[in-house]
């Protein structure tokens, strides 16, 4: 199949759409608390930093020294109370403790019932991602069909484009499935 710039742009637009969906999916998975201490679950905690809402990771070093503890070392100790307040008001359900210099969050092991709820939630994230990816495929195929209608590509070119678009989509959905399997395994570990 001879590919002109318009065809290349359509494939690139599809890849950009799929990359964006996959990245969003991974960020959603990182925000799921799976029983192990994961500093990424604090990425969405916003702190009032001198009148500006700032993500907590931009204000501190966040680490997990062991599987049940998250350690927050603030760069500006004067913001300790604001950070504690932001963690309390977040929907993460943590009860932070501090010694005046660092904040510790203790991550309890989830119950089996909670683990199953989390698995259900991450499966929904995966399905939403797949649906969005299929929508991107449909949009690109519609554009190829429009090119065919305008006689810019042949029927054979359209058939090849459909196969190529499906091949690209399959590679991305395989990545979604692999990532989901890893996250489910992580959640179900005791």
In this predicted model, what pLDDT tens digit does every residue of 24-47 receive, in sequence order?
Answer: 999 888 877 666 777 888 888 889
Does residue 180 share a domain with residue 123?
A: yes
pLDDT for 64 beyond 50: yes
Does residue 91 share a domain with residue 157?
A: no
Question: What per-residue confidence (pLDDT) applies to 35?
Answer: 66
Nearest 5°: the CA angle 122, 126, 132 is 140
> Kind of pairing, strands 52-55 and 46-49?
antiparallel
CA dihedral 169, 19, 180, 62 (to 10 degrees): 170
CA dihedral 121, 127, 133, 136 (to 10 degrees): -100
Question: What per-residue confidence (pLDDT) applies to 66?
Answer: 86
Contacts by residues 90-93 (CB-CB < 8 Å, ≥ 24 positions apart):
90/44, 90/45, 92/33, 92/41, 92/42, 92/45
Question: What per-residue confidence (pLDDT) applies to 44?
Answer: 83
pLDDT for 87 beyond 80: yes
Task: Write down which residue in 106, 121, 151 finishes a domain.
Answer: 106
Confidence of residue 138 (pLDDT cuts 50, 70, 90): very high
Task: Write down which residue in 89, 106, 123 finishes a domain.
Answer: 106
Does residue 92 share a domain with residue 135?
A: no
Question: In this prediction, what percent of the chain has a pLDDT beyond 70?
Answer: 96
Question: What per-residue confidence (pLDDT) applies to 50?
Answer: 86
Report the C-alpha gap between 147 and 170 in whole angstroms.
23
Question: What per-residue confidence (pLDDT) applies to 3?
Answer: 59
Report the Cα–Cα distance between both ends of the chain, in Å, rounded. Answer: 52
Domain holding 83, by residue range, is: 39-106
Question: What per-residue confidence (pLDDT) applies to 1?
Answer: 47
Number of domains in the chain: 2
Q: What is the mean pLDDT of the chain?
A: 88
Question: What per-residue confidence (pLDDT) applies to 73?
Answer: 92
Nearest 5°: the CA angle 160, 165, 168 is 125
Does residue 134 share a domain with residue 93?
A: no
User: How do residues 111-137 score in pLDDT, each as one tens digit?
Assistant: 888 888 889 999 999 999 999 999 999
Does residue 118 share a domain with residue 27?
A: yes
**If you count them, how many residues does the chain have?**
190
pLDDT for 95 beyond 80: yes
Does residue 25 share a domain with residue 117?
A: yes
Domain holding 139: CATH number? 1.10.132.20
Question: What per-residue confidence (pLDDT) applies to 190?
Answer: 59
């Amino acid at each position: 199949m001879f590919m002109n710039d318009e065809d290349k742009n359509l494939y690139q637009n599809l890849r950009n759409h799929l990359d964006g969906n996959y990245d969003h999916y991974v960020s959603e998975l990182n925000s799921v608390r799976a029983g192990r201490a994961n500093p990424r679950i604090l990425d969405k905690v916003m702190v009032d930093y001198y009148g500006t809402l700032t993500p907590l990771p931009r204000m501190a070093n966040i680490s997990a020294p062991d599987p049940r503890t998250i350690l927050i070392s603030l760069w500006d100790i004067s913001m300790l109370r604001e950070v504690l307040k932001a963690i309390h008001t977040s929907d993460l359900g943590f009860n932070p403790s501090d010694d005046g210099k660092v904040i510790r969050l203790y991550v309890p092991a989830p119950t089996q019932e909670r683990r199953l709820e989390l698995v259900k939630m991450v499966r929904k994230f995966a399905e939403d991602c797949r649906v969005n990816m299929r929508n991107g495929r449909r949009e690109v195929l519609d554009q190829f069909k429009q090119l065919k209608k305008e006689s810019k590509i042949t029927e054979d070119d359209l058939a090849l484009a459909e196969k190529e678009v499906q091949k690209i989509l399959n590679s991305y959905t395989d990545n979604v499935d692999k990532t989901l399997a890893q996250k489910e395994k992580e959640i179900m570990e005791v």
